[in-house]
């Protein structure tokens, strides 16, 4: 028989009681985290989201409660009433905030029972957790784990801090619709069929990009929103089909003004974990970041920068290098301090690693007692010595070298730099190194189709310095390739190698926006069909404007110190875009489909 709560009210949470409360009569309610039966005494750890408190039930002084305690198991919901007593010195538990006291139970209510959980909730550390799929299916149980509860609470604090930051700076929170027309951010849209307009579809926002720009045209001046965004992408481990952004935009903006607000917001939020970031973050252009780190989001917590060896190879006829250089490619390296003793097996592993990023091979020089190199035969001692000097390597170091097309060298050495830092433990985990990366390219070139796509999104403004080049490239077919050189007023905020925010100054003139659609291969008809409303709006007095969006999950991952995005979301989806708890996506009734005028072609 279960007990009823009646009028009983809890007086304290399970994380609250301290020595100063000794002598008080209290009522705690929560879940049974653990029960230990010692005959005449039963110890029950009662848990709620605030903590754990030990309750002691004595057969001698609370016979009825003691008898009830026999039948309770983990995750039963109980209420205990009793007196707070100090624990004996020897019985104190320094790991628990409430560990100096316990509750001497006079009354025990069993408010609900619970099935045996399919996995153990309380495990020390996170390494022994049950398989993630099981935990996602029983998310309500997984969410009882203190670690996840801390993360969810931290997320709420972060969002509150963000609102506070923008509210106090004159920004207004505007809710934009979820049922929308497609907003291109480079991913596929999730679409929603309309019943009233059968055969027509809404799209869920990939971001509120166009609407926030329209807010600027409307004169709202300073907008922000905690916005849910949806992108139907092939998922990567750190992506989710729906996620949340702090989205902001303001009028009469220039880049420095936006950087100031990005810095200010993150600095304000990181105070939640007592991290003080510099008021003004270092800036680096995209070109410099790619050159020095092989990445547009460099992790600045360690050095090991890429060094260009291309000019130090003399007139080598070693085909892999000679051919690469003849085709405008690069030969670059990183220097791994003190790793001249890398074994063959280790360099082979690192070679496999760079191959994943398209590199053909990984060459090495090891400066041990003797200098050895996979290139010794091909290049000869003299050239090797020159490379060592150029790389700045010293006795004891290993030099790791990749040759290839510029993007391949950047991607593979950039990734290798991170991998080596992880393996050799070169990253100071207590450091927070922010960076603003500026002057992103406006377009990315798609080799296969020889077309240009927007590197950020199609509303991003070219840099003033590159405007003429941009116009020439769009208007003159023979100069089309110059699009690849146009830089945009686009930027990212990066912390510890994570892209936390990105944005741009927008195009505010219809004529330039139309040119940009042309550059992207959209005919005027298609541009009008998709974005006519926006092109029209641009013609009614659009102020210069810009802004950014910051990933709430990414930010919370930094705050919570986790590398798993699902750890900072209450109800995440799996890497294959399913909700295992609700079992979605799921089927719908035939009748529902009929109403929508939809017929499903079932996959074979
Ligand atoms: N809408 C952009 C994004 O989602 C951010 C921005 O440009 O403000 O990445």
| Whether pLDDT at 238 is above 90 | no
CA angle 90, 92, 93 (to 5 degrees): 130
Is 502 close to ligand 1, i.e. is its CB under 6 Å away?
Answer: yes
- Nearest residue by C-alpha to atom 6 in ligand 1: 503
Q: Minimum mean pLDDT among 124-128, 393-397, 501-505, 528-532: which range? A: 124-128
Closest ligand 1 atom number to CA of residue 546:
8
Q: How far is the CA of 414 from the centre of ligand 1 (A)?
A: 25
- Residue 270's pLDDT band, with cuts at 50, 70 and 90, is very high
State the DSSP code for 413: H
Q: How many helices, marked H, and strands, marked E, lie in the chain?
A: 16, 22
What is the pLDDT averaged over residues 333-361?
96
What is the pLDDT averaged over residues 329-333?
96
Q: Say if CB 322 and CB 474 are below 8 A apart.
A: no
- Residue 468's pLDDT band, with cuts at 50, 70 and 90, is very high
> Is the sign of the CA dihedral 236, 238, 244, 248 positive or negative?
negative
Q: How far is the CA of 183 from the centre of ligand 1 (A)?
A: 11
Q: Say if CB 433 and CB 282 are below 8 A apart.
A: no
- Residue 497's pLDDT band, with cuts at 50, 70 and 90, is very high
> Is the sign of the CA dihedral 65, 69, 74, 76 positive or negative?
negative
Q: How far apart are the two ends of the chain, measured CA to CA in Å? A: 52
Closest ligand 1 atom number to CA of residue 460:
7
Helices marked H in 102-145: 132-137, 139-142
Q: How far is the CA of 379 from the centre of ligand 1 (A)?
A: 48
- Residue 127's pLDDT band, with cuts at 50, 70 and 90, is low
What is the pLDDT averaged over residues 185-192?
87
Distance CA(559)–CA(432), nearest Å, equals 11
- Nearest residue by C-alpha to atom 8 in ligand 1: 548
Residues above pLDDT 90, as percent of the chain = 89
Is 44 close to ligand 1, i.e. is its CB under 6 Å away?
Answer: no
Is 207 close to ligand 1, i.e. is its CB under 6 Å away?
Answer: yes
Is 211 close to ligand 1, i.e. is its CB under 6 Å away?
Answer: no
For a ligand 1 pocket test, name from 250, 257, 503, 552 the mutation site with the most ligand atoms within 8 angstroms of its C-beta: 503
Is 474 close to ligand 1, i.e. is its CB under 6 Å away?
Answer: no
CB neighbours of 111 closer than 8 A, spacing ≥ 6?
2, 3, 4, 5, 29, 77, 78, 79
| Whether pLDDT at 312 is above 70 | yes
Per-residue pLDDT tens over the stretch 540-583: 999 999 999 999 999 999 999 999 999 999 999 998 899 999 99
Q: How far is the CA of 229 from the centre of ligand 1 (A)?
A: 10
Q: How far is the CA of 193 from the centre of ligand 1 (A)?
A: 26
Q: In this predicted structure, what is the pLDDT of residue 124? A: 60
Mean per-residue pLDDT of the chain = 94
Closest ligand 1 atom number to CA of residue 548:
8
- Top mean pLDDT of 92-101, 127-136, 316-325 is at 92-101
Pairing of strands 51-58, 101-112: parallel
Q: Say if CB 166 and CB 225 are below 8 A apart.
A: no
Q: Say if CB 493 and CB 266 are below 8 A apart.
A: yes
pTM of the predicted model as reported, rounded to 2 decimal places = 0.93
Q: How far is the CA of 207 from the centre of ligand 1 (A)?
A: 7
The pair phi, psi for residue 141, each rounded to 5°, is -80, -45
- Residue 446's pLDDT band, with cuts at 50, 70 and 90, is confident
Is 503 close to ligand 1, i.e. is its CB under 6 Å away?
Answer: yes
Is 244 close to ligand 1, i.e. is its CB under 6 Å away?
Answer: no
Per-residue pLDDT tens over the stretch 141-180: 999 999 999 999 999 999 999 999 999 999 999 999 999 9
Distance CA(246)–CA(223), nearest Å, equals 11
Q: In this predicted structure, what is the pLDDT of residue 183? A: 66
Per-residue pLDDT tens over the stretch 73-118: 999 999 999 999 999 999 999 999 999 999 999 999 999 999 999 9
What is the pLDDT averaged over residues 316-335?
93
What is the pLDDT averaged over residues 292-299?
98
| Whether pLDDT at 245 is above 60 | yes
Is 546 close to ligand 1, i.e. is its CB under 6 Å away?
Answer: no
User: Which candidate, 577, 1, 72, 595, places its Cα nearest to that of 55?
Assistant: 72
Number of neighbouring beta carbons within 10 Å of residue 374: 17
57 strand-pairing partners = 42
Q: How far is the CA of 223 from the centre of ligand 1 (A)?
A: 13
Q: Say if CB 41 and CB 58 are below 8 A apart.
A: yes
- Name the maximum alpha-carbon separation found in the chain: 95
For a ligand 1 pocket test, name from 226, 457, 500 the mutation site with the most ligand atoms within 8 angstroms of its C-beta: 457
What is the pLDDT averaged over residues 263-290?
98
- Residue 187's pLDDT band, with cuts at 50, 70 and 90, is confident
């Amino acid at each position: 028989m279960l007990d009823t709560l009646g009028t009983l009210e809890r007086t304290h949470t399970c994380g609250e009681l301290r020595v100063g409360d000794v002598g008080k009569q209290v009522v705690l309610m929560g879940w049974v985290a653990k029960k230990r039966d010692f005959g005449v005494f039963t110890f029950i750890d009662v848990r709620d989201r605030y903590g754990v408190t030990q309750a002691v039930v004595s057969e001698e002084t609370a016979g009825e409660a003691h008898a009830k305690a026999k039948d309770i198991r983990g995750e039963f919901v109980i209420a205990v009433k009793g007196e707070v007593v100090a624990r004996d010195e020897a019985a104190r538990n320094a790991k628990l905030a409430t560990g100096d006291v316990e509750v001497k139970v006079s009354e025990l209510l069993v408010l609900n029972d619970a099935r045996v959980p399919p996995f153990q909730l309380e495990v020390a550390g996170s390494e022994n957790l049950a398989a993630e799929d099981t935990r996602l299916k029983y998310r309500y149980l997984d969410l009882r784990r203190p670690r996840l509860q801390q993360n969810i609470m931290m997320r709420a604090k972060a969002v509150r801090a963000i609102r506070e930051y923008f509210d106090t700076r004159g920004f207004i929170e505007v809710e934009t619709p979820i049922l929308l027309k497609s907003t291109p951010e480079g991913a596929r849209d999730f679409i929603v069929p309309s019943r009233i307009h059968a055969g027509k579809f809404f799209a869920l926002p990939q971001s509120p990009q166009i609407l926030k720009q329209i807010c600027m045209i409307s004169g709202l001046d300073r907008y922000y929103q905690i916005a849910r965004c949806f992108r139907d992408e092939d998922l990567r481990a750190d992506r989710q089909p729906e996620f949340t952004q702090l989205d902001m935009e303001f009028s009469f903006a220039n880049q420095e003004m936006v950087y100031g607000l990005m810095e200010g917001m993150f600095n304000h939020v990181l105070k939640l974990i007592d991290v003080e970031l510099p008021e003004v973050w270092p800036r680096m252009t995209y070109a410099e970041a790619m050159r020095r780190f092989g990445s547009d989001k460099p992790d600045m917590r360690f050095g090991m920068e890429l060094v260009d060896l291309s000019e130090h190879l003399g007139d080598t006829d070693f085909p892999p290098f000679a051919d690469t250089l003849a085709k405008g490619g690069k030969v670059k390296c990183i220097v791994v301090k003190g790793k001249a003793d890398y074994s063959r097996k280790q360099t082979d592993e690192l070679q496999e690693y760079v191959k994943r990023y398209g590199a053909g091979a990984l060459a090495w020089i090891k400066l041990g007692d003797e200098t050895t190199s996979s290139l010794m035969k091909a290049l000869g001692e003299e050239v090797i010595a020159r490379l060592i000097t150029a790389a700045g390597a010293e006795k004891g170091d290993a030099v790791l070298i990749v040759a290839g097309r510029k993007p391949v060298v950047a991607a593979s050495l950039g990734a290798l730099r991170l991998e080596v830092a992880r393996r050799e433990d070169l990253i100071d985990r207590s450091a927070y190194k922010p960076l603003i990366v500026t002057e992103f390219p406006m377009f990315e070139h798609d080799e296969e189709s020889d077309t240009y796509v927007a590197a950020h999104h199609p509303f991003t403004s070219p840099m003033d310095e590159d405007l003429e080049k941009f116009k020439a490239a769009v208007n003159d077919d023979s100069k089309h390739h110059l699009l690849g050189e146009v830089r945009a007023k686009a930027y990212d905020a990066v912390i510890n190698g994570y892209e936390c925010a990105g944005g741009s100054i927008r195009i505010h003139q219809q004529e330039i926006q139309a040119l940009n659609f042309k550059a992207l291969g959209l005919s005027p008809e298609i541009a009008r069909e998709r974005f006519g409303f926006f092109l029209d709006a641009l013609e009614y007095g659009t102020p210069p404007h810009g802004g950014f969006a910051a990933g709430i999950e990414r930010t919370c991952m930094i705050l919570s110190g986790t590398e798993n995005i699902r750890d900072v979301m209450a109800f995440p989806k799996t890497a294959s875009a399913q909700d295992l708890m609700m079992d979605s996506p799921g089927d719908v009734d035939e009748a529902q489909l009929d109403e929508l005028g939809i017929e499903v072609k079932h996959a074979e």
